[in-house]
Amino acid sequence: MKKMIDFADFLWHKPVLMITTILLSIVKTVLDFVEIYLFNDWPFLWSLLVLVHVDTVLGFWKSAKNRTVSSRGFAGYFEKLGSYAAFLILTHVLITFPIEGTPTKIFAWINNVFYSAIMVREAISIVENIGAIKEGIIPTWILAYLKKYDASGKLEDLKNPNGNE
């Protein structure tokens, strides 16, 4: 008991340590809430952010080349991030929501379809930007292939057209 009193006395006499401990506790609580109720697929998010930023850089490059750089383009970046955040939260909630404490599995398929759709959208934009920067550098069939999935939403449209895995 004496050791606990000494530790509590130490904490109360060290405000920086106490404040740091409280802040870390709050951050952990918020992160736990986020992972349970909002989003928890961090590797996917990093992959998506890489594509979003590649697309943004290429979009800026294309605009600079065409002398059409504007603040409206940068506003689109934040609109995209906000829209994607809402879409990812929707996906997570549909996949993980419980009914009477039991996780439902009715929307388990949404993960692959929604995540694939958002990545294909970014891939299409990147390929289009590359084509606008340097025409003919990317074969047109690649863009057609991505757009076919974008239009159909069928995962089999993303499979290798040569039949190889």
Q: Print the domain residue range for 150.
A: 41-158
Residues 80 and 129 in one domain: yes
Residues 22 and 51 in one domain: no
Backbone angles phi, psi at 98, to 5 degrees: -100, 155
Residues 31 and 87 in one domain: no
Residues 77 and 110 in one domain: yes
Per cent of the chain over pLDDT 90 is: 44
Mean pLDDT of 105-121: 89
165 pLDDT exceeds 60? no
pLDDT of 10 reads 64
pLDDT of 21 reads 84
116 pLDDT exceeds 60? yes
Q: Taking all residues of the chain, what is their mean pLDDT, rounded to a whole number?
A: 86
pLDDT of 120 reads 93
Residues 27 and 74 in one domain: no
Mean pLDDT of 42-56: 96
Residues 45 and 126 in one domain: yes
Cα separation of 61 and 129, whole Å?
Answer: 9
Mean pLDDT of 80-86: 94
Cα separation of 115 and 122, whole Å?
Answer: 11
Considering the entire predicted model, what is its pTM? Answer: 0.77
- Contact (Cβ atoms closer than 8 angstroms) between residue 71 and residue 122: no
Q: How many CA atoms lie within 13 A of 72 on its CB side?
A: 4
Assigned domain for 16 exists: yes
Residues 46 and 70 in one domain: yes
What secondary structure letter does DSSP report for 154? -
